[in-house]
């Protein structure tokens, strides 16, 4: 045994003797994780956060979190001699004077965008597949809080360079804060250290960005992963998969090797973006000055929907009463965003009230088998998309040569009409797909081959499904609207909760497609055999008489 092996063995024995590490490592290494491409979305979120921590550490060595004025004397000639803040000057120095500084800045910015995007897409996957159901409601809330913190972390981060674009965003944020009744002005004074912009907000944003929010996010990520281990990972329905087991690969060595390789793939893609695709060119905007406003200024994509909500509100919603100014044009936008966020957080309990289902669920749903949930999700995404488009209404009007007023009016109508339309269309599509699955389970896969039987009838020959294919189509439960006599977990119908619960249940499950029953499967299996026998007899007739066979068989 070499010296290294002896040292490693000694360290392992010491850890085992002191904290019982072998039991922990052995049990954790044997933890089974299912394998599916959609589960990598959560990994992208985790890995991009790790990249943010690494690159952010590098940037803090050179960034100066100060709004004090200085004269720029760096390598970017067009700004030499300009009076700028120390924060802006240090960011320019990072970009042009520090070797690798611009690359690190751009990797950090791209990683932030990927982090927020991966978080949102991961939560969408969890929502549409029902992975938030019992016992994972708390993990869903943690994920929702992480998404909110990711947005706030991104906002404080791109505000730190103190350039004209980020300063404009901070000015909008200050206006939104001031619109909060009673306490808005106090919050603004506390955050900015007095009247906007002040000199205190950069150090405070810096502290929030590099200490407070990362610590909270790191703690929530740890709790999130711990709950994933405790509850075991969800999995898609398949052979041998039940609510009581997990079919997949052990954490070590298979999953660890795959996860390690995937981390470097994510790192490589984000590094390539940072090296090849320019983003946040602060030298093109100049230092922040409260007097001008950048024409066509746009926030990062994850803040666009909130900006769009503000842009859609009509100006007459701001008025004065009792000596105070009520800015409901901004406050209403805040309420819309807040309602969307709160509804998303509490959704697991809303669906639980509609179903009355208190069972644990470890198998995921096919989105088509939950048409109401899928419709609500698409409706929310449609509303989000319309608000996001509204955040760029000036750019759209300029690029397409349209009237910005016409675009705003269309979007004001659209936020009421298009989400509702998206819900109806999505639900109809899901129900149609369920009917198609039902026909496929009963009659097999369409082959496009049409055969004329001896008595003159034309039929299409269907290919039989495998047991796995058929099971995938019939394995789901079909819930019915809640009834008093057959639902012992239903609320008292005489109470307000009971009435709301039954209305919710009717809304969710009134339109449904019943899954195939075993009796129907047996009957269709018998009919399919008869069909095959007739087709086979027809094949024999064609073999005996080729001329007749040519006239009796059509290929679709």
Buried b (16+ CB within 10 A) or exposed e, 171-196: bbbbebbbbbeeebeeebeebbeeeb
Q: Quick check: 444 and 532 in contact, CB under 8 A?
A: no
Per DSSP bridges, beta strands 324-327 and 318-321 are antiparallel
Query: Which SS3 state, helix, strand or coil, does residue 293 take?
Result: coil
Mean pLDDT of 198-226: 92
Is a pLDDT exceeding 70 seen at residue 191? yes
**Which residue, 427, 336, 330, is CA-closest to 377?**
427
**Which residue, 160, 361, 148, is CA-closest to 243?**
361
pLDDT per position as a tens digit, 426-453: 999 999 999 998 888 888 888 888 888 7
Q: How far apart are CA 239 and CA 325, in angstroms?
A: 64
pLDDT of residue 555: 39
**Which residue, 295, 341, 359, 365, is CA-closest to 489?**
359
Residue with tokens 């800045």: 105
Share of the chain above pLDDT 70, in %: 88
pLDDT of residue 44: 95
Topology of domain 32-365, CATH: Cytochrome Bc1 Complex; Chain C (1.20.810)
Which element (helix H / strand E) includes 428? Answer: helix 404-443
452 HSE (CA, 13 A, CB side): 11
pLDDT per position as a tens digit, 33-88: 888 889 999 999 999 999 999 999 999 999 999 989 999 998 999 999 999 999 99
Cα–Cα–Cα angle for 306, 309, 315, nearest 5°?
130
Q: Quick check: 71 and 83 in contact, CB under 8 A?
A: yes
Kindly indicate the confidence band of residue 22, based on its pLDDT and cuts at 50, 70 and 90.
Answer: low
Specify the range with the lowest mean pLDDT, choosing from 52-66, 106-120, 200-214, 524-538: 524-538
């Amino acid at each position: 045994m070499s010296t290294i092996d002896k040292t490693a063995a000694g360290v392992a024995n010491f850890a085992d003797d002191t904290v019982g590490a072998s039991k922990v490592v052995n049990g954790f290494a044997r933890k089974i994780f299912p394998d599916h491409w959609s589960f990598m979305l959560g990994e992208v979120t985790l890995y991009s956060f790790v990249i943010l921590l690494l690159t952010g550490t590098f940037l803090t060595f050179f960034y100066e979190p100060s709004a004090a004025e200085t004269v720029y004397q760096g390598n970017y000639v067009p700004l030499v001699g300009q009076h700028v803040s120390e924060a802006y000057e240090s960011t320019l120095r990072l970009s042009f004077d520090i070797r690798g500084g611009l690359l690190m800045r751009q990797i950090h910015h791209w990683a932030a965008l990927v982090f927020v995007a991966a978080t949102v897409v991961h939560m969408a996957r969890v929502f549409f597949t029902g992975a938030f159901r019992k016992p994972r409601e708390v993990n869903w809330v943690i994920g929702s809080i992480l998404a909110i913190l990711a947005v706030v972390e991104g906002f404080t981060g791109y505000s730190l360079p103190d350039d004209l674009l980020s300063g404009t965003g901070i000015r909008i944020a200050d206006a939104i804060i001031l619109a909060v009744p009673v306490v808005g002005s106090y919050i603004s004074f506390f955050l900015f250290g007095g009247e906007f912009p002040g000199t205190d907000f950069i150090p405070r944003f810096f502290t929030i960005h590099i200490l407070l929010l990362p610590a909270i996010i790191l703690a929530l990520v740890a709790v999130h992963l711990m709950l994933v281990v405790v509850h075991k990972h969800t999995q898609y329905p398949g052979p041998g998969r039940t609510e009581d087991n997990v079919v997949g690969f052990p954490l070590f060595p298979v999953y660890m090797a795959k996860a390690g390789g995937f981390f470097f793939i994510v790192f490589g893609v984000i590094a390539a973006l940072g090296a090849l695709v320019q983003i946040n060119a602060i030298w093109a905007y100049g230092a922040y000055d409260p007097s001008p406003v950048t024409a066509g200024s746009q926030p990062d994509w994850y803040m666009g929907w909130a900006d769009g909500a503000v842009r859609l509100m009509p100006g007459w919603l701001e008025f004065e009463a009792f000596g105070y100014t009520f800015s409901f044009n901004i406050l209403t936008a805040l309420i819309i965003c807040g309602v969307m966020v709160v509804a998303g957080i509490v959704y697991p309990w809303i669906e639980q009230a509609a179903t009355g289902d208190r069972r644990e669920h470890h198998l995921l749903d096919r989105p088509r088998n939950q048409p109401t949930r899928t419709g609500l999700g698409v409706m929310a995404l449609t509303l989000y998309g319309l608000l996001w488009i509204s955040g760029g209404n000036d750019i759209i009007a300029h690029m397409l040569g349209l009237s910005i007023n016409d675009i705003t009016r269309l979007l004001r109508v659209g936020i009421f009409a298009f989400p509702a339309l998206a819900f109806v269309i999505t639900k109809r599509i899901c129900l149609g797909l369920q009917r198609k699955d039902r026909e496929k389970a009963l009659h097999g896969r369409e082959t496009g081959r049409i055969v004329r039987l001896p008595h003159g009838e034309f039929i299409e020959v269907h290919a039989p499904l495998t047991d796995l294919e058929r099971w995938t189509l019939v394995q789901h439960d079909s819930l019915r609207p809640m009834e008093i006599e057959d639902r012992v977990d239903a609320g008292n119908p005489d109470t307000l909760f009971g009435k709301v619960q039954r209305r919710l249940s009717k809304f969710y499950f009134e339109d449904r497609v019943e899954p195939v029953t075993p009796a129907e499967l047996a009957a269709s299996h018998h009919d399919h055999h008869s069909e095959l026998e007739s087709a086979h007899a027809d094949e024999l007739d064609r073999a005996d008489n080729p001329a007749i066979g040519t006239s009796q068989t059509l290929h679709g």
